[in-house]
């Protein structure tokens, strides 16, 4: 009898162990709270390819070039695209790619390639502080333009970024003639990045 009594007393304890074991898999159904934009950018920033300065892209187009060669961009999560407020309705808001440049003091800097619905693409330089976007600057674009009645012309914005983050942006008209090197109404501006991460025109 004492043996049976011991078993009867132990039975509830054994059953509770089985119940606990069966309940553990429920933890797999736990849904982690969605990450903030700041946390998502931090994750992305760690994954981006980094390229050293100087970097440039000529009016001929192609890919920006660094000392390591042509820049290879990484696709950005769709959930992050909304943080880039400069994207108007003329852009594809489902696809954005980026690459990382060296820090400027405590400012994170990335170069972003955007895609227009028309099929063309543009480049922006973006600054971040504490995983929050501070400022952006368009550094490359190509578009159709009319120059003094000549409808077959192209306006091109190209750039170069020096090792000290002196940013030179050149915009010029390129009439569609046999002389592809012809540039008209050339305008050139220089920018620096201030301590707050803003682009300042010199």
Centre a 10 Å sphere on the Cβ of residue 97 and count the other Cβ atoms it contains: 17
Q: Tell which wins on pLDDT, 118 or 188.
A: 188
Averaged confidence pLDDT in the chain? 80
Using the predicted structure, report yes or no on whether residue 21 has a pLDDT greater than 60.
Answer: no
Nearest to 53 by CA among 139, 171, 167: 167
Asked if omega into 135 is within 30° of 0 (cis), the reply is no
Rounded to an integer, the average pLDDT of 139-166 is: 85
Using the predicted structure, report yes or no on whether residue 174 has a pLDDT greater than 50.
Answer: yes
Q: Tell which wins on pLDDT, 120 or 159.
A: 159
* Domain range enclosing 109: 37-201
Does the residue 84 lie in any domain? yes
Number of domains in the chain: 1
Does the residue 5 lie in any domain? no
Does the residue 96 lie in any domain? yes
Does the residue 29 lie in any domain? no
Does the residue 8 lie in any domain? no
pTM of the model: 0.77
Cβ atoms 140, 171 nearer than 8 A? no
Residues 154-173: tens digit of each pLDDT:
888 999 999 999 999 999 98
Strands 107-115, 97-104: pairing is antiparallel
Does the residue 60 lie in any domain? yes
Does the residue 25 lie in any domain? no
Does the residue 43 lie in any domain? yes
Rounded to an integer, the average pLDDT of 100-104 is: 95
């Amino acid at each position: 009898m004492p043996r049976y009594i011991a078993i009867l007393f132990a039975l509830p304890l054994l059953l509770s162990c089985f119940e606990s074991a069966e309940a553990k898999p429920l933890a797999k159904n736990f849904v982690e709270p969605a990450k903030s934009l700041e946390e998502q950018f931090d994750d992305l920033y760690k994954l981006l390819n980094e390229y050293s300065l100087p970097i440039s892209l000529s009016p001929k187009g192609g890919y920006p070039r660094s000392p390591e060669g042509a820049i290879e961009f990484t696709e950005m999560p769709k959930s992050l695209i909304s943080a880039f407020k400069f994207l108007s309705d003329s852009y594809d808001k489902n696809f954005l790619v980026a690459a990382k440049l060296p820090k400027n003091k405590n400012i994170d800097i990335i170069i972003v390639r955007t895609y227009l619905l028309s099929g063309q693409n543009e480049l922006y330089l973006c600054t971040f502080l504490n995983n929050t976007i501070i400022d952006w600057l368009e550094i490359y674009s190509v578009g159709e333009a009319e120059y003094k009645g000549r409808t077959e012309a192209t306006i091109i914005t190209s750039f170069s970024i020096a090792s000290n983050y002196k940013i030179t942006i050149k915009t010029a008209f390129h009439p569609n003639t046999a002389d592809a090197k012809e540039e008209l109404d050339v305008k050139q501006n220089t920018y620096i990045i201030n301590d707050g991460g803003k682009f300042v025109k010199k």
